[in-house]
Amino acid sequence: MSGRGYSYLTGKARNLKYFFNQGPLLKHVVDRIKFNILPKYFIAPNFPTHIDIESSSLCQLKCPMCKQRLMAKEIKGNMNFDLYKKIIDECSRRRVYSIKLSWRGEPLMNPGIWDMVRYAKEKRIKDVAFLTNGERLKIKDIPKLVESGLNWISFSIDGLGKTYEKIRSPSKFEDIVEKLKAIKEYKERRNLKNPLVRIQTFYSAIKNNPKEYFDFFSPIVDRINVGADRIEIGSKDFPRDRDFICPTAWQRMMIAHNGIVAQCHDDYLLKNPMGNVNEKSLYEIWHDEPFGKFRKLQKTKQQDLSLTCRECPHRGLMNEKVLKIHDKKVVIEKFTGQDFDIKKINAKKLFRRERK
Ligand code: SF4
């Protein structure tokens, strides 16, 4: 069920329960089959089953591993509601199964985020979710979060205690834990399963204490994801998997806050735009020449011809690490030669570099 470079600390039974509760079961299974199987046969569905909509490309944090800092101020902003409605209305007509309201920025930077969730649910999008750092979430807004109709939400919590605070500065570990507990309590009081709450960390942030991380969060959240470390776009110094064909070209569409459709989630600087939603429908863009060319490059393994794919850390060679959590073995997928050394993270240096 996991994507490339994503593993789980939670066990199979727990992950299955998460899967079953994520949305209407039959539709969810059909969607997952389309999403995961069609790319293997290079079949593009008539319309993508999943759309990523960037509610905001702004972020208040400056995490050292995040490519946000490569983005110029001029390309940061919130999506306006009229553009959002246009996108959702087409998604609804085309029966899109899932949307995610996050990409390069922090969704809670957009004051209209809860209206966005509600509108998508009113338009019968089955699976609505977003990723957040949670720093902007206020305890008083937790009823709004839970009642919005969100199917799941993912909090980025890299490591425990001081490690987290170093990476996610100035967020406080205690604060984020308090928010997760408050969501759990509110759901229990209202006897609700959704939104499911997952957390995710990158591997190096927990590699010295995976068991402690699991034990701490396991009672509070529904699922625990571990993402492989991925070094910055532009770094050339890691082994590539020359056989890898990226499935994204047949799966999903990534819409930036200003309506530009990016090639994929790694096209942070919009080097390979596929079109603009202000000018064309999503359907037209999905069937237009740029997407056709993009699929052909992937299929013929000529990814080096794409400015974004050429440098993408996602094409790295994979290896596995086996962890022992209590009596269970947990297999973690990693990219070879892409590990972060947390001790060397120098947030101040990174902030200086951004200001230049
Ligand atoms: S840049 Fe290329 S390889 Fe990387 S995620 Fe995008 S499509 Fe896949």
Tens-digit pLDDT profile for residues 302-351: 998 988 898 888 999 999 999 999 988 999 999 998 888 887 766 555 44
Which residues share a beta bridge with 202? 227
Which atom of ligand 1 lies nearest, measured to the CA of 313? 4
Which atom of ligand 1 lies nearest, measured to the CA of 311? 1
Which atom of ligand 1 lies nearest, measured to the CA of 294? 7
- Ligand 1 centre to CA of 273 (Å) is 13
Whole-number pLDDT of residue 156: 96
- Ligand 1 centre to CA of 314 (Å) is 6
Calpha distance 324→246 (Å, rounded): 30
Task: Check: CB of residue 263 under 8 Å from CB of residue 52.
Answer: no
- Counting as low any pLDDT under 70, the low residues of the chain are 1-3, 233-234, 345-356
233 ligand 1 Cβ < 6 A: no
Q: What values do phi and psi take at 190, rounded to 5? A: -95, 0
Which atom of ligand 1 lies nearest, measured to the CA of 315? 3
Name the residue with the closest Cα to ligand 1, atom 5: 266
252 ligand 1 Cβ < 6 A: no
Single pTM value for the model: 0.93
Name the residue with the closest Cα to ligand 1, atom 2: 309
Whole-number pLDDT of residue 203: 94
For residue range 189-207, list pLDDT tens digits in order.
999 999 999 999 999 999 9
245 ligand 1 Cβ < 6 A: no
Whole-number pLDDT of residue 130: 98
**Sequence-ordered strand ranges (E) for 126-241:** 127-132, 152-156, 196-202, 223-227
Q: Tell me, what amino acid is at 16?
A: L
Which atom of ligand 1 lies nearest, measured to the CA of 246? 8
- Ligand 1 centre to CA of 260 (Å) is 17
Calpha distance 81→152 (Å, rounded): 22
- Ligand 1 centre to CA of 267 (Å) is 8
Name the residue with the closest Cα to ligand 1, atom 8: 246
- 3-class state of residue 329 by DSSP: strand
